[in-house]
Each structure stands twice: as C-alpha cells, then as structure tokens.
Structure 1
Amino acid sequence: MSELPAGLTRIWERSLERQPLPEPWAVLATGAVALVLVAHPASWRRVRLGITVVHEAGHALAAVLTGRRLAGIRLHSDTSGVTVSRGRPSGAGVVMTLLGGYLAPGVLGLAAALLLAAGRPLALLWLLVVALLLLLVWIRNLYGLLTVVGLGAALAALSWYAEPGLSSTVAYLLTWLLLLAAPRPVVELLGRGPAGRRGSDPDQLARLTGVPALVWVWLLLLGTLAGLVVGIATLAPDIAARLPAALG
C-alpha cells in the first residue's frame, strides 16, 4: 500500500485490524437505545432520514446492478426521497429496483452485523463513509447534498479521531438502528390503507406485476423482519460467549 497517501494507508491498515469490542452489556445497551430511538416519535423522524438515505441507495444499487441507467436521487426534509432510473418500463430490472428500497436497511444491517461478528467495527464505519461518498455523485438537490455530506463527515471524523471503544460502540448502535428500523416504514405503509399507499413502491409493483400491493407490503415486511432475526442471531453468539467473563 506504499503508493497510497499516508492517511489512506493508515485507514486501510486500521480497517483490516480487529478492534476491541464493547463489553456485552454495552452492546445490549446500544440495542436498547436504538429501540427507543426507533420507537419514539420525536427521535424516529431523525432516524428515518438516515433510513431514507439507505432506502434510496438501495433503489440506486438495484438499478445499476440490473442494467438500468441511474438518473439521480433526491432527499427531502420530510424524510421522503425519490430515485429516478431509466430503462425498460417493465420487467425484472424495474421490479428489483423497486424492491431494493425497503429491503436495503435490513440487508445493510445484516452486513454490518457480520462485520461486527468478525471484529471489524472500524471497517464498517469506513465502508459507510465510502458508500456515502459514492452516493454524492447521484444526489440532485441541495438538501440531499447537505444530508449526505453531513452524515459522511460525521462518520469520517468519528472513525479517524475517536478512541476504538467509542467507534466500536457507535458501530453497534448504527447496526442496531438499521436492523430495528428496517421494518417500521413497512409497518407504517401497512397502516395507511389503499389510498395512503398510492404511488408507493408496492403500489408500483402491483401495477407492474398484477400482484396486489398489500401482498407486496407483507412480503417486504417479512423480508425486513427476517433481516432483523438473522442479524440478532449473528450478533448473539459473540455476546453470549463474552457475557460470563464480563459478569465474572
């Protein structure tokens, strides 16, 4: 890695190293804090903005992977967002693009849990920074630009300057937030009724496939809940293994 600038070399080397993980009680505490942040209406609005960033990134990634042309992403202050891609108006590509949004937070949360189980919290934080940098290319409005830059700068500063214990704790908090928050937008969509779901991803999927929108909502809910269960199951063995030593 000698050809890289010193700063990038240091990031690369630190990200490949195993970092000390928080005590099991601290991991459980971050989960409890994340649950409160997701459940409380005042904090949920702020958490949802981050989930919307991941949601739109999921649409964008699915579009690119299925051969569609990504036109741009907009994020709005009401925590909504829109991703525009171009290609065939029907077919598997557009279906996968629509599915990618609501499933993205759970999938990212599961990937984060795998990195934490491998002892790589710093790698998780830097990967999130890189993902936000890549996302900047496609942002098409000022609010979205400021949001993504702010999130990326905060994570980069934390990853660079924070003590390993703090950065690891934040990595767990973010992972819990992704896993626990993933089902909530789908639950909210379920409670809106047919009129409230008009124009939503499941509504568009229904028009494309002929499968009722409510079926798509339930499938998305099952997908996000599956991500939550598998994510918890991924983190649980490490917590269980270290808990007796922490209590002793």
Structure 2
Amino acid sequence: MSSEELWHRVLEIFSRTAVPQVTLAELAIVFVLATALSIPRATWKYFGLLATATHELGHAFAAVMSGQRLGGIKLQLDHSGTTTSYSRGRLATVWSGFWGYPVPAVTGAALVTSGFGGWGPAALATGTLILIASLLFIRNFAGIVITVTAITGGALLVIFVPHAFTGHVAICLGVALLVAAVRDLAKLTNVHLRRRDRLASSDAYILYRATSVPSGVWIAMFLAVVAGCWLVAWQPISSILAAGA
C-alpha cells in the first residue's frame, strides 16, 4: 500500500460507511463471541486487560474533565490498575473516582450504536487515537505493553480490514465490553460480600471513605449506568430480533 493510498484510507475511516446488514444468525454469533471473550478465564485473561485499560481511562478522562492534574496510569497483568490524579476539591475527586466501572459499558454502547449506524471504523479509529494519547500517561512497563498491543490491534483493524467488516467488529467488541462491565460489577459485589479483605482496592469503598455514602449505593449507581448502556445498545439489537421474529 503506497503512502497516498494509506492517506486516502485514513480519510475514509472517519466517513460514514454503509450500514452493516446484521442478520439474526450473525447477532447470535456476536453474542456467542462476546461471551467467549468476557466469561471464560482463558480468554478473559487477555480481553480483561482491555476492560481494565478502559476502566482506568475512564478515571483519567473524568479527572481531566473536572480540572484535575493527571499524574499517571498503571496497568497490571493481573487486571488491576491505578490512576493517579491531583485535586483540591472533593467533588472532582469523587467524580473521577466514579467513572471507572461504568466506562467499559459506556464504550461498549458507543461501539454498538456506532457499528449499527455505519460509524464503526470511525469509532474504532477514535478509540485507537485515545489509546495513543494515553501512552503519555502510562507509568509502568506492563501498562505500555497492554496499551501498545491494543493500539496495534485497533490500527490493523481500521487500516487494513474492509470498512463493511469493521462495522461488524465494532458491534461484537461493543457487546463484549458490555458483558465485561457486568462481569466486573459482579466481581466488585463479590469483594464487598465475601472478599472484604480486598476492600481497600474497591472504587465503591474508596468513594464511601471520601463521602460517607455507603458502598452499596455506589455499586447501585454503577449498575444503573451499566444498565442504561445496555438499554441504549439494545435498541438496534431489538430491531433485528423483531425483524427475525
């Protein structure tokens, strides 16, 4: 591929493409693949790293949007992560602390709706650019490896894969992140119910310490946002189910 062809390809990425024609059978395959990425331990070991990166980027983006100074992001291969930000205001700290667990679902809903709307390549390209920008704030080697791997995968998809197919990939990846958000919330809830020795790393517990609002309320708020994201993503999916009924 020449440099001119590559540049033309890049410009096409951010243009609307044909709306993917998703059949009922393909939709079933999408849910099977999404579940296969987010549920079994063998695949979650790797896909869960993307969910963790999205989680931490949610904290980071919220911190920047609320006027905080972003210190750095650390990602670990055991699916843990830390985002450090500095603020003099409690409200800003609480705001950035909240937007961790809901963001994989927000991202998933955005990918699904973009994919069904013909904006799948643009959505994946935007996500790749965000990951590239996040490299400025990654503060450990594992985090760099995880982020560069995700960037490479995203770049290969948007540059070399036909746009019509990329829309289908965006839908599948979006559903997988929505499933991942539910899995992570279940894990968080389990920490509060059965693994209370790990409370110190829980966003809900940290928010409780900062506000005196019970952890259960924060978990319920996480769940409400995730459920809302599922509802948004379900709109285009339900139309396919209705057509196939």
Q: Secondary structure at the match of 2:82?
A: strand
Q: Deviations over 1:176-222 (max 9, x none)?
A: 11111112111111112333322321111101111111221222123
The alpha carbon displacement at 1:14 in A equals: 3.5
Structure-2 change in CA distance of 1:218 and 1:17 (3 Å): closer
Task: Tell me whether 1:69 sits opposite 2:69 in the alignment.
Answer: yes
Tell me the distance in 2 between the aligned counterparts of 1:43 and 1:222: 27
Task: Tell me whether 1:42 sits opposite 2:42 in the alignment.
Answer: yes
Q: Secondary structure at the match of 1:105?
A: helix
Q: Secondary structure at the match of 2:27?
A: helix
Q: Secondary structure at the match of 2:100?
A: helix
Write the letter of the residue equivalent to 2:233: G
The alpha carbon displacement at 1:227 in A equals: 1.4
The alpha carbon displacement at 1:114 in A equals: 2.3
- TM-score for the superposition, normalised by structure 1: 0.88
Whether the aligned pair in 1 keeps the contact of 2:112 and 2:172 (CA below 8 Å) is no
Whether the aligned pair in 2 keeps the contact of 1:122 and 1:159 (CA below 8 Å) is yes
After TM superposition, which residue ranges in structure 1, 4 or more long, deviate above 6 angstroms? none
Q: Deviations over 1:64-110 (max 9, x none)?
A: 0000000100111111110000112x521111101111111111112
Write the letter of the residue equivalent to 1:49: L
Aligned-pair RMSD on alpha carbons?
2.1
Write the letter of the residue equivalent to 1:192: V
Q: Secondary structure at the match of 1:18?
A: coil
Q: Deviations over 1:6-41 (max 9, x none)?
A: 644531234313135153222331122112322222
Residue matched to 1:220: 222
Write the letter of the residue equivalent to 1:156: A
Residue matched to 1:151: 150
Residue matched to 1:85: 85
Question: Which stretch of structure 1 is more off in the superposition, 144-153 or 56-65?
Answer: 144-153
Q: Secondary structure at the match of 1:109?
A: helix
Q: Deviations over 1:159-190 (max 9, x none)?
A: 11123343233212111111111121111111
Question: 1:22-33 residue pairs with structure 2 within 5 A?
Answer: 22-24=21-23, 25-33=25-33
**Identity rate of aligned residues, in percent?**
29
Unaligned stretches of 5+ residues in structure 1: none
Write the letter of the residue equivalent to 2:200: R
Structure-2 change in CA distance of 1:199 and 1:17 (3 Å): closer
- TM-score for the superposition, normalised by structure 2: 0.89
Whether the aligned pair in 2 keeps the contact of 1:132 and 1:148 (CA below 8 Å) is yes
Whether the aligned pair in 2 keeps the contact of 1:73 and 1:139 (CA below 8 Å) is yes
Question: Which stretch of structure 1 is more off in the superposition, 228-237 or 103-112?
Answer: 228-237
Whether the aligned pair in 2 keeps the contact of 1:180 and 1:228 (CA below 8 Å) is no
Write the letter of the residue equivalent to 2:226: T
The alpha carbon displacement at 1:61 in A equals: 0.2
Residue matched to 1:181: 180
Whether the aligned pair in 1 keeps the contact of 2:101 and 2:185 (CA below 8 Å) is yes
Write the letter of the residue equivalent to 2:79: T
Whether the aligned pair in 2 keeps the contact of 1:22 and 1:168 (CA below 8 Å) is no
Q: Secondary structure at the match of 1:12?
A: helix
Question: Which stretch of structure 1 is more off in the superposition, 40-49 or 57-66?
Answer: 40-49
